[in-house]
Chain A
Amino acid sequence: MELGYPSRRAYYDGPRIRETHEAGVVNFNETSIEKLSASLKRKAEKIYLLAYHDDFLENREKIYGILKRCGFSGLIIPDLLTDFYDENEDIIREIQGSGYEYIPFFNPSSPDRVIRNVSKISNSWVYYGLMPSTGINVPYSQDAVVSRINSILVDREINFGFGIRSVDDVRKLVSYGAHGAAIGTLLITMLEKHDIDGFRQFINDLVVMRNA
């Protein structure tokens, strides 16, 4: 499970998730993140915090405090390897040196050598964005995308996100060799429409698929 640290610079999130960031920035307090993470921990073995680079640097102590108090396993910084590439080694070492997993975030524009190099210095699973931004839809071949990253990172757990629209999308990704899928926009849209039954059904379908 992944929880986002509210940001005004959620550049790699699409319109839906950006709106949730916008609301999060206004309403954020540490108590709410503690409550949310406690709730998530009852459902998930591990929980991860996603924070954009500038928010992480500006709120370093606060974020490490949240990671510790709330029992997060690690941190995802979606813009680190694109807009702040020069800083990646120092930040990865710092996060891992503090006892947390650093989750590398790659996308189809990540060069092969960058994927190899960053994966060598990080020790966790890998997050691979299928699209340039969450929730948007541009044409691509799921099969080819998954094969590509699997061929570069053999024996590494890879979870996919961005633009996953249905249980069928997840099923296909898994059939191509994905270990997991991150779903955000789809669920947020259901919640906005108060489609709680649809939400439950979707989660149920995922569980059935996982257990099959």
Chain B
Amino acid sequence: MISTQNTDIIPENWYNVVPDLPEPLPPPRDNDLHKSSIELLNRILPKKVIEQEFTFRKYEKIPDEVMELYEQIGRPTPLVRARNLEKYLDYKGKIFYKFEGATVTGSHKINTAIPQAYYAASEGIQEVTTETGAGQWGTATALASSMNGMKSKVFMVNVSYRQKPLRKTVMNLYGAEVIPSPSTITETGRKFLSQSPDHPGSLGIAISEAVEYALDNDIRYLLGSVMNSVITHQSIIGLETQKQLEIMGEEADVLIGCVGGGSNFGGFIFPLMRDGRKRTIISSTAREVPKFSKGKYRYDYVDNAGILPSIKMYSLGSDFVPESIYAGGLRYHGASPSLSLLVKNGIVKSEEVGEKQVIDALRIFANTQGIVAAPESGHAIASTIEYVKSNHDEKKTIVVNVSGHGLLDMSIFAGE
């Protein structure tokens, strides 16, 4: 035993939803007739990650080394009944929140950064690279790389780089080199800078830069969201939640989470959906990035430069440059294929939440539960409050995934 955490709650296997989907998941497609961007993945991703991306296996064993690191970074994360929020809303049912902000990096992102970094280090790789929007993924990559003895280089969306200097400091502290994107060190970055020297950047551009850098330097690229393998790693959220609910003698009727690329949400809901029980599932997105209501379900580029294969998803177009919104983690133009499929089939409902509603929800959650949640997670909390208000007389058990804390995002409350 290395701590008093109840590590029995951490599952032994991750769960892959693909074999259990109601219809086939359209596979990735090459963008170019004469070369294979799918095969290109062999050059930038750890082999085990590619295998997990295309596997038919429902369960993947969590390596012992990864399990140990999961304990080190604070897993299992708590599932807490939000009694004060229930009282505040005068709700007769129950509200639980799974708090991924309790990990040492403050968000769910570390759940996949650790295994990806572990698999890369196992191949003898010395350095990894990635992109980051709000900074949570970059922070997770920086720590996971250090824990696995590797260097890391993080391309951070320019607008976040300027707005969140503390995020950069944390990543530096964990050993990462942080570069604002678009940058001058890649061809993709230079192209966008020549169009606009003050370009705000986007996650799509930052992904292209990181992939290009990985290819040019023969290092590995870590995937932050969207792809199946990432959601498989994130299934630890839902698997833990399920065990914790069982211990409490509860069953979830309503599941709510926020969606950027879809990894925290998919990782949360997919394991809980395995029982086939009918329940309400709500994905909460930013009103400024209306991917499910205004986006189209189609094959689209993952990254702006079209280096990675196209995937079928709800997308606003890879050239979509979102407003510099308060929740940088929700600015991505698309959503994961598995989640997109469930939204298309009406199994998952989508809801859009605006800035004022999110800030109000964050304040209510802080006042009642003491948690300063991340602006991204604020969407899920806002949707939870909205659900309770609209279904006040129900006595349902709501479980909301609070994907991260917002202690490095306090500027959104400035001027309040």
Q: Chain A interface (Cβ within 8 Å of chain B)?
A: 11-12, 14-15, 18-19, 22, 81-83, 85, 107-114, 131-133, 135-140, 144-145, 148
CB distance from A107 to the nearest CB of B (A): 7
Provide the residues of chain A in CB contact with B346, threshold 8 Å.
none
Instruction: For chain B, give the interface size range.
Output: 20 to 34
Taken residue by residue from 21 to 34, chain B's Cβ proximity to chain A (1 for < 8 Å, 0 otherwise) reads as 11111111110011
Provide the residues of chain B in CB contact with A138, threshold 8 Å.
38-39, 41-42, 50-51, 53-54
Contact at B33–A111, with CB atoms within 8 Å? no
- Which chain B residue shows the least CB distance to A134? B36
Cα separation A11 to B38 with both chains bound (whole Å)? 12
CB distance from A57 to the nearest CB of B (A): 18
Q: Is the interface of A mostly helix, strand, loop or mixed?
A: loop
Pairs A–B under 8 Å by Cβ, sample size 21: A12-B27, A14-B30, A14-B39, A15-B34, A15-B36, A81-B24, A82-B25, A109-B25, A109-B27, A110-B56, A111-B21, A112-B19, A114-B24, A132-B38, A133-B27, A133-B38, A136-B38, A136-B39, A139-B42, A139-B51, A148-B56
Q: Which residues of B32-89 are within 8 A (CB) of A?
A: 33-36, 38-39, 41-42, 47-48, 50-51, 53-57
Provide the residues of chain B in CB contact with A19, threshold 8 Å.
33-34
- Which chain B residue shows the least CB distance to A108? B56
Contact at B34–A111, with CB atoms within 8 Å? no
- Which chain B residue shows the least CB distance to A83? B26
Provide the residues of chain A in CB contact with B34, threshold 8 Å.
15, 18-19
Please provide the 6 A-B residue pairs with the shortest distance between their CB atoms, ordered closest to farther: A108-B56, A132-B27, A136-B39, A85-B23, A139-B51, A82-B26
Which among B22, B39, B42, B56 is the interface contact of A109 at CB below 8 angstroms? B56
Cα separation A145 to B57 with both chains bound (whole Å)? 9
Contact at B51–A111, with CB atoms within 8 Å? no
User: Assuming A111-B22, A138-B39, what are 4 further A-B pairs, CB within 8 angstroms?
Assistant: A112-B20, A133-B29, A138-B41, A139-B42
Provide the residues of chain B in CB contact with A82, threshold 8 Å.
24-27
Known contacts A19-B33, A136-B39; is-contact A108 B55 (Cβ 8 Å): yes
